[in-house]
Amino acid sequence: MMKYVILVVCLMLGLFCATGYAAIPLITDDSGTQGKGKFQLEVAGEYAHDKEEGVTNKDSTFAAALTYGLADTVDIVLCVPYQALRSDEAGYKTRKNGMSDLSIETKWRIYEKEGLSFALKPGFTIPTGDDEKELGAGKMTYYLYFITSKEMAPWSFHLNLAYFRNENKGDDRKDIWHVSAASTVEVMKGLKLVGDIGVETNPEAASGNSPAYILGGLIYSPAENIDIGFGVKGGLTKSETDIAVRSGITYRF
């Protein structure tokens, strides 16, 4: 009974939901689903530090995402984000914080055989963030991921190809492409080392420099249904954030 109560509440929250994310601390998602009637709750945070042309930005992002297995191969993901943006330019400091854009997405695993699997993940965001404070796009956006995963114990490999229709009230690009790849290896029972690398179109129309990142971290599982993740992400190009720390906890029930 409690599961159905939680699902109804989450579907209501889904009307205001933000984007979901991969296994913490990864950015690249895997093709795995929860299974019919099962839940997954993720609570994560990221602290990012960037300095460019005399401007220092210190941004914090917090998010909670709930996944529910509609079927063995189909999940629905509902996520709520919060952002705190800090900027310092020649001693002039600005602070912006509040809810960002909320989203709903689904993941459908369309193929699985001998450790190889494919999935599609469509989703959309709802403009609940204040676009004047740079906390949201001001319009609904849409996206679609194609996900490939290959399991070869103790290794796992994942590839994401995605397209974002970045509708916005500013002058940002509306067509954004993303590609990323990740790998995990279980070095001992309950402990995995993870790596992630990716690049996407720069949303700033005036810039041709594409943001690219590399990430390293670990996932510790003290119990079968609990994961604790930690990672450090570094920028490979000028337009990417210099450095960010990502961490969070995942609970499956």
Prediction pTM value: 0.88
Q: How far apart are CA 76 and CA 20, in angstroms?
A: 10
In sign, the C-alpha dihedral spanning 39, 223, 82, 149 is: negative
Alpha-carbon separation of residue 252 from 11, 73, 109, 127, 196 (angstroms): 18, 16, 19, 29, 23
The Cα-based distances of 112 to 74, 109, 249 in angstroms read 13, 8, 27
Where are the alpha helices (H) located in the chain, listed in sequence order? 2-13
From the options 2.60.120.310, 2.40.160.40, 3.30.450.150, 2.60.40.1180, give the CATH code of 2-252: 2.40.160.40
Compute mean pLDDT per 10 residues along the chain, 253 residues long, and list them.
41 39 92 97 96 89 97 97 91 90 96 97 95 90 98 97 94 95 97 98 91 98 97 96 97 97
Of the candidates 174, 215, 190, the one whose C-alpha atom is nearest the C-alpha of residue 28 is 215
Check residue 247 and give its pLDDT: 97
Q: Where are the domains of the chain?
A: 2-252
